[in-house]
Structure 1
Amino acid sequence: MKLVVQLKLLPSPEQAAALEATLRACNRAANYVSRLAFETGVRDRNGLQKLVYADVKAAFGLSAQPAVRVVKKVVDAYGALAASLKAGRLGGPSSKRYRKAVGSPVGFRPEAAQPFDDRCLSWQTDARTVSIWTVDGRMRGIRYTGSPDQLKTLAGYRRGESDLVRRGGKWFLIATCDLPDPEVFEPVDWIGVDRGIVNLATTSDGTNYQGRGLNRYRRWQARKRAELQARQTRSANRRLARRTRREQRHATHLNHAISKEIVSVAQRTGRGIAVEQLDGICERVRLRRDQRGMFSSWPFHQLGQHLAYKARRAGVPFLEVDPAYTSQRCPRCGHTGRANRPDRDRFACRWCGLAGPADHVAGVNVRDRARSAWVFVTAPVPAPA
């Protein structure tokens, strides 16, 4: 499985200046290549490289391999744009976002991340230093740090290129690691996980991870953002960006903590993890105006991603099941109806009288569907006649 490891660089002032100059030169070159790709329509790597390779080296002071990385970075950006347009993430051809995306070249910020392969960047894991190409020459002995688990993963499984990133005045290297997939065990049962807004996650065991604190924190952040937006100054815009990143980190930390605990329980008890398949929920659900902001910032997708990759890394079976009527179906008698859900928090079956917290009942239904689905997942494929 692919895993990214983020290490913090500890450069000296001279090294930091060289890294900054390198990022800016690479992104100026990327903007030049992007503009030519847009004007000529050449988007394949070999064709674009033949077109711009000599100019990029001569005009921007890049060596051979960094110039090749810049071209690949531009090709990947146009590939990602084409995939987004095809998937409809930018709306239809008549939408403003779509027209803006296709009507101008892909742009790169002056300090956007830059990929480096093993010819441009080498790791000395024993000394915890890196050697990296810069426009001021090869910089050696740049120290880095990280958690013990990150350092162990980096030393044993790093593969491919690494990205140089500057964020908030600090330098990072994001390395790709290729870990072997552990063998998935046969589960004795399943933990059903119901995701929501008021309760971020509720398991079939009855464990409830409330989202009240996160929602209160986000409402407070929204008020602060409104105050800063009213000022309309450059300083206010910088503070807005910092607040946005802080809020994202806060939600990500909560999702990591929740998913880590659920996977740990599943691994310890020999059970698998099942969640509802919520792809396309934004298109299926219609909301009141006052609910749209909360729903659009609901981190359920990220929680599902964290559960999936943590389960895979631990060898825990993971399934996504059909979400239809999980909050309206009685897990005891099977009766399904909207009247079984008198309000958001309570479930009361109109047929057999089973009652309880609605999210817990939904988690039990998810667990039951995983039990049935796993039989078909593990069933042997019949041999052709």
Structure 2
Amino acid sequence: MMTVKIVRSAKLKLRCSPEQHSRLLAVTTAYRDAQNHASQWAFTHGKTSSGIAIHKGCYADIRARYGLASQLACSVRDSVSAAYKTLWTMTKQSVARLKAAQGQVGRKGRLPRLYRGLDHAPVFKALTLDYHYGRDYSFKTGRQVSVMTLEGRMTLGYAGWSTHLEDLQRPDTEIGAAKLWYDRPKKQWYLLVAYTVEKPVVVGELKQVVGVDVGQRYHAVTKVIDPVGHGKITMFEGSSHRKKADHVQHLRTKLQAKGTRSAKRRLVSISARERRFTAQRNHVLARQIVDANPLALIGMEELTHIRERTERRSRPKASMKQKKVNRVRSTWSYAALRAMVTYKAPLVGSLVTAVDARYTSQTCPRCAHVSRENRPQGRERFACVNCGWSGHADVVGATNVGMKAWQWKLEQEFSGCLSAIPSREAEDVTLYDAEGGAHPAVEAEGSHKPATSVAGR
């Protein structure tokens, strides 16, 4: 039996009077101004990301000029240091990509752009601040929380989701840092509390193995690896999500080209809309995958650095279609989906394991023949050039991912003795649209004849 630690975030709605609202507004404003002060100091002193250097240069000024408590002043230092470390990492990665592109012989097209994030000091705009448990904030009885302000501690009532509230009351829960956040449209203060809970998971008691293939045409395709019969296939298509994201991008482009004051106000109102919409889509998709597969070992692809490994055709006179393909690929949030599935799975007794993604879309699940020619022109149809077996390419990917997860499960149970091979037959296909609606789809996997295309694709 293994114990899985799950880090969750409780969103607590704070109940505050007008006077308390003003005190929270004052401390967050001072915190933001202190961040900008420290950011400008770090920029003028070699764009340093050293927390020690920022502390020595700014701590006294922050305490005297902005009236922040000692721990809040240290939080300012940490947030600015983290911001500069992120910018330096992105800059170094950009330089490495540029050098690699310049070293390629006969490379066609435009070189990647050099990241320019450190050309000016980072500016902090949000009315948020970080609290440390036991120093800046603590929980009281009667669902009350004590938070630090410029005038000392202040006790506020709060409300939230019952599951989060129960977890926070458990003695074995590890409560971490919190973020005070102001929702401008709703004019409401929230406290986002990070906490860790432990869930026991027994690998031997997992009833099934599920392979998950992620992509852009279909955000996820799941295949249950069943050794005694048929494995269920579920497909979550992403065309509806893509249409909404394209609409937001088109609206943003038009407003930026217009450039009037009203257009800029509209840009502010729709800022980060695509990001929030994508995060909501990933949360819903992760919940659907987890709820449909309780007590399961869920295998997902390890796709770290896939953007660097994937060829992006870019040239000075690239077509609008190619530019759209590049934008869609750059906004693919596969890592966020995997992270959400990983922390939601133990809540229903499941476990997520990352498997090697190499050749999962090019390997025949019947004869194990690996060839790029098995997927002609990278289309949806998979056709093995060795044995003639054909099927849906995304289902093949999910099958191969599930097979690797199955092998990992057997290694955990029998110390490397792989004595069983899952069935490769499948039926019972369900197709989900972006809104979560389900309807049957026709997919004859395991047939030598070309199967009917899913959802008319």
Relative to the length of structure 2, the TM-score reads: 0.72
Deviation at 1:302, TM superposition (A): 1.3
Question: Deviation of residue 166 (structure 1)?
Answer: 2.0
2:304 counterpart residue number = 279
Question: Which residue does 1:357 correspond to in 2?
Answer: 392
What is the DSSP-based 3-state SS (H/G/I as helix, E as strand, rest coil) of the residue aligned with 2:64?
helix
What 5-or-longer segments of structure 1 have no aligned partner?
Answer: none
- The Cα of 1:241 is off from its aligned counterpart by 4.0
Q: Would the aligned equivalents of 2:209 and 2:297 in 1 still touch at CA under 8 Å?
A: yes
Match of 1:76 among 82, 90, 97: 82
1:303 equivalent to 2:331? Answer no
Measure the CA separation in 2 of the matches of 1:314 and 1:64.
42
The whole-number CA distance in structure 2 between the counterparts of 1:95 and 1:52 is 37
Asked if 1:146 corresponds to 2:180, the answer is no
CA distance in 2, matches of 1:108, 1:78: 12
In the alignment, is residue 370 of structure 1 matched against residue 405 of structure 2?
Answer: yes
Task: Encode CA deviations 1:50-76: one digit per residue, 9 max, x unaligned.
Answer: 544333222212233333333333333
Contact 2:11 2:193 in 1 (8 A): yes
Identify the residue that residue 189 of structure 2 maps to in structure 1.
171
Correspondence for 1:332: 366
Q: Provide the secondary structure at the position in 1 that maps to 2:154.
A: strand
Q: Aligned pair in 2 of structure 1 residues 233, 213: CA closer, same or farther (>3 Å)?
A: same
CA distance in 2, matches of 1:43, 1:302: 26
Tell me the alpha carbon deviations over residues 191-214 of structure 1, each in whole angstroms, 9 at most, x when there is no partner: 111111111111113111111111
Whole-angstrom distance in 2 between the partners of 1:179 and 1:83: 31
1:291-334 superposed Cα distances (whole Å, 9 cap, x missing partner): 11211222222111111222244442322222223223210112
Gaps of 5+ in 2: 100-110, 224-231, 313-321, 417-457
Aligned mate of 2:136, from 120, 145, 151:
120
Partner of 2:105: none
CA distance in 1, matches of 2:13, 2:95: 33
Written as runs of structure 1 = structure 2, the 5 A alignment for 1:12-31 is 12-31=17-36
Q: Distance in 2 between matches of 1:359 and 1:225?
A: 32
When residues 46 and 348 of structure 1 are mapped into structure 2, their CA distance, relative to the original with a 3 A threshold, is: closer
Cα deviation for residue 185 of structure 1 reads: 2.4
Q: CA deviation at 1:175?
A: 1.0
Residue of 176, 185, 194 corresponding to 2:213: 194
CA contact (8 A) 2:375 2:383 kept: yes
Give distance in 1, aligned partners of 2:347 and 2:407.
24
Alpha-carbon distance between aligned partners in 2 of 1:48 and 1:338, rounded to the nearest angstrom: 52
Deviations 1:310-360 (A, max 9, x none): 224444232222222322321011223334334622223333332222211
Partner of 1:247: 274
1:114–1:164 contact (8 Å) kept in structure 2? yes
Does structure 2 conserve the Cα–Cα contact (< 8 Å) formed by 1:121 and 1:130?
A: yes
Q: What residue is the counterpart of 2:449 in the other structure?
A: none
2:62 aligned residue (56, 64, 68): 56
TM-score for both structures, normalised by structure 1: 0.85
1:257 aligns with 2:294: no
Determine the structure 1 residue equivalent to 2:222.
Answer: 203
Deviation string, structure 1 residues 220-278 (Cα, Å, up to 9, x no partner): 222222232233134433433443433323222222222222223332xx431111211
Q: Judging by fraction of residues, say which structure has more helix.
A: 1
What is aligned with 2:438?
Answer: none
1:183 offset after TM fit, Å? 2.8
CA distance in 2, matches of 1:33, 1:189: 52
SS at match of 2:275: helix
Q: Are the aligned partners of 2:380 and 2:394 in contact in 1 as well (CA < 8 Å)? A: yes
1:209/1:95 Cα in 2 relative to 1: closer, same or farther (>3 Å)? closer
- The question of whether the paired residues in 2 share the 8 Å contact of 1:182 and 1:314 is answered with no
Summarize the Cα distance change of 1:374–1:92 in structure 2 as closer, same or farther, 3 Å threshold: same
Q: CA RMSD in A?
A: 3.1
Bigger CA drift: 63-72 or 283-292? 63-72
